[in-house]
């Protein structure tokens, strides 16, 4: 991978400091954010997953939350004056953002969506966020991530229940 994507070009143009890291992307391997954390050797709380949701089936929103967290869709809906929120289909998300599933980034989207950054992420000194391609993340300060996409910071997630071995 070259590390050159719409997301990294956007970050470069924004003038924020970041580094690019690749990891082994395994589409059938389960939780991609957790795979990335394991592959690059960092705490999953520092690796943020990027999700695209719809509030009341009309308002697309980009969520950026720790890989080891679960989204509270009711809280997301309430932030936008809605009643409910749900995941957007991968096809519709790709059409809006310009990124395929597993490579969605809040940076450099074809149609910039409102971004909500989990308040939990703001406590980290550095975070890893998808760089616009599968198997690629950027590392940057969470305040820089928030600033460049004018993200709303809110408590929209909580730690997921640990997965028990089968």
Residue 68 in any domain: the answer is yes
Residue 164 in any domain: the answer is no
Residue 166 in any domain: the answer is no
CATH of the domain at 136: 3.90.960.10
Over the stretch 116-140, which tens digit does the pLDDT of each residue have? 999 999 999 999 999 999 989 999 9
**H/E element holding 96?**
helix 90-97
Residue 165 in any domain: the answer is no
147 lies in which domain range? Answer: 6-159
Over the stretch 33-78, which tens digit does the pLDDT of each residue have? 777 888 888 888 899 999 999 999 999 999 999 988 999 999 999 9
Residue 25 in any domain: the answer is yes
**How many distinct structural domains can be found in the chain?**
1
Among left, alpha and beta (phi > 0; psi -120 to 50; other), residue 146 is alpha
Residue 127 in any domain: the answer is yes
Residue 151 in any domain: the answer is yes
Distance, in Å, from the CA atom of 88 to the CA atom of 93, rounded to the nearest integer, reads 6
């Amino acid at each position: 991978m070259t590390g050159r994507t719409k997301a990294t070009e956007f970050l470069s143009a924004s003038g924020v400091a970041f580094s690019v890291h690749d990891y082994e992307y395994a589409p059938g391997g389960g939780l991609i954010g957790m795979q990335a954390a394991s592959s690059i050797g960092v705490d999953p709380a520092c690796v943020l997953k990027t999700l695209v949701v719809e509030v009341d089936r009309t308002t697309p929103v980009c969520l950026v939350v720790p890989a080891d967290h679960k989204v509270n869709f009711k809280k997301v809906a309430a932030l936008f004056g809605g009643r409910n929120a749900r995941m957007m289909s991968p096809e519709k998300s790709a059409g809006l953002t310009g990124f395929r599933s597993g490579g969605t980034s809040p940076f450099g989207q074809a149609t910039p969506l409102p971004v909500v950054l989990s308040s939990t992420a703001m406590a980290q000194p550095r975070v890893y966020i998808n760089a616009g391609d599968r198997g690629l993340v950027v590392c940057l300060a969470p305040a820089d991530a928030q600033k460049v996409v004018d993200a709303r910071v809110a408590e929209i997630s909580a730690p997921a229940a640990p997965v028990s071995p089968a």
